[in-house]
Amino acid sequence: MFNIKKILSFLICAFNLIFILSTAQAERIKDISQIFGIRHNQLVGYGLVVGLDGSGDSNAFTDQSFKTMLSRLGVQVPAGMNVSSKNVAAVAIHASLPPFARPGQQIDVLVSSIGSAKSLRGGSLLMAELKGADSQTYAVAQGNIVVAGFDAEGLDGSKIKVNMSVGGSIPGGAMVEKESPSSFDIYAKDDITYVLHRQDFTTARRMADVINHYMGSNTAAPIDGSRVQVNIPQSAADRVRFLSVLENLSLNPGEESAKVVINSKSGTIVIGQHVKVNAAAVSHGSLTVTISENPEVSQPQPFSLGTTETVENTQINIQQDDNTMFLFPKAVSLNSIVSAVNEVGASPSDLMAILEALKRVGALSADIEVI
């Protein structure tokens, strides 16, 4: 017979555990780090796009590339003949070669005009080589270009443009021809090294502790604040399975240091949760001076010898906001900072000045990063 009290107690514990796990800021190892030696490689190339409806370009290097392509296809162009065409455009091609990519696999490519082409819509990229930083060819691209933007122009000069039409993509448009060089060989080493995306000693220690807890003691050891060394099984058949389990382990990363990030261009200000302000008094106010010109007409009396003249009437208005000084107590939190600033109605630019002044007097316990 079932014990109702035990079942209810078990359900309550299960719900509490689910709630704790859902609120915890746990992240998987694969989301906060990567294995050293496993990386993408950038590829770049040059090519021609054909089939454009008069929206291509015509310049020296496009014409030369077009003539060279024709000669390779067996078409002999007479010397001095102009081969320029508005249906052709010169483009730059770039792609990212993923790790473990093998010959025959397809990757996506991006195509961008490098000439005066107005649009690549409807165009097709002809076969072009994609090379790595070592000038070796790793893929060959070709295909129809997908362009998200468009533009149109009327005879009266009116124009409309949506997004950009001088660039596009070719999904699966490149065929891998050569494997990328890699310093990682899963079968030639007895250990691997995880590199954290964000350097933090606490995160490195916690990551090693989680691995040792689930995989056995002395399996992992932190090397420094950004690297954790992990011993892997000797059997080649077990290594992939071991890494698959390892990358799905979760841990709570170390919290970021106190920081205030200011975007000087957009006026965006982000204040971290660990930012503290020591005892300080801040006075915020602004002075507004408005100068307006109101011309008036001076009309002479009837039958007088005077003339009608325009008289300038200048008005100067000075307004100063009556904002009182507010006091920060010792070690106030983020909520107190935001509330105090909102009370005086400070704009983003004013808040930048307040935070920089607090940092200068030593009352702000955080780093200010201006981007």
Q: How many CB atoms lie within 10 A of CB 147?
A: 19
3 state DSSP class of 343: helix
Q: What is the CA radius of gyration of the chain?
A: 34
User: Can you give the pLDDT at residue 238?
Assistant: 81
pLDDT exceeds cutoff 90 at 94: yes
Whether the per-residue pLDDT at 209 is higher than 70: the answer is yes
State the pLDDT confidence band at 233, using cuts at 50, 70 and 90. Answer: confident
CATH class for the region spanning 185-251: alpha beta
Higher pLDDT, 94 or 254: 94
Q: Is 360 helix (H, G, I), strand (E, B) or coil?
A: helix
Read off the pLDDT of each residue in 85-114 and give the average, rounded to a whole number: 91
The letter for the amino acid at 349 is: S
Alpha-carbon separation of residue 111 from 120, 131, 147, 201 (angstroms): 9, 15, 10, 41
Q: How is the chain split into domains, by residue range? A: 41-176, 185-251, 259-300+307-370
The DSSP element (H or E) to which 209 belongs, if any, is helix 201-215
Confidence category of residue 2, pLDDT binned at 50, 70, 90: very low
Ranked by mean pLDDT, the top range of 23-32, 60-69, 186-195, 300-309 is 60-69
User: What is the reported pTM?
Assistant: 0.65
Sign of the C-alpha dihedral computed for residues 210, 213, 214 and 217 taken in this order: positive
Residue 177 pLDDT > 80: yes
What tens digit of pLDDT does each residue of 297-344 get? 666 677 666 677 766 665 555 455 555 555 556 655 656 666 666 665
Q: What is the mean pLDDT of residues 167-186?
A: 83
- Computed over every residue of the chain, the mean pLDDT equals 77
φ, ψ at 153 (rounded to 5°)? -140, 135
Over range 251-257, report the average pLDDT.
84
- Per-residue pLDDT tens over the stretch 26-45: 889 999 998 888 888 999 99
Any idea which of 82-96, 178-192, 263-277, 332-346 has the lowest mean pLDDT? 332-346
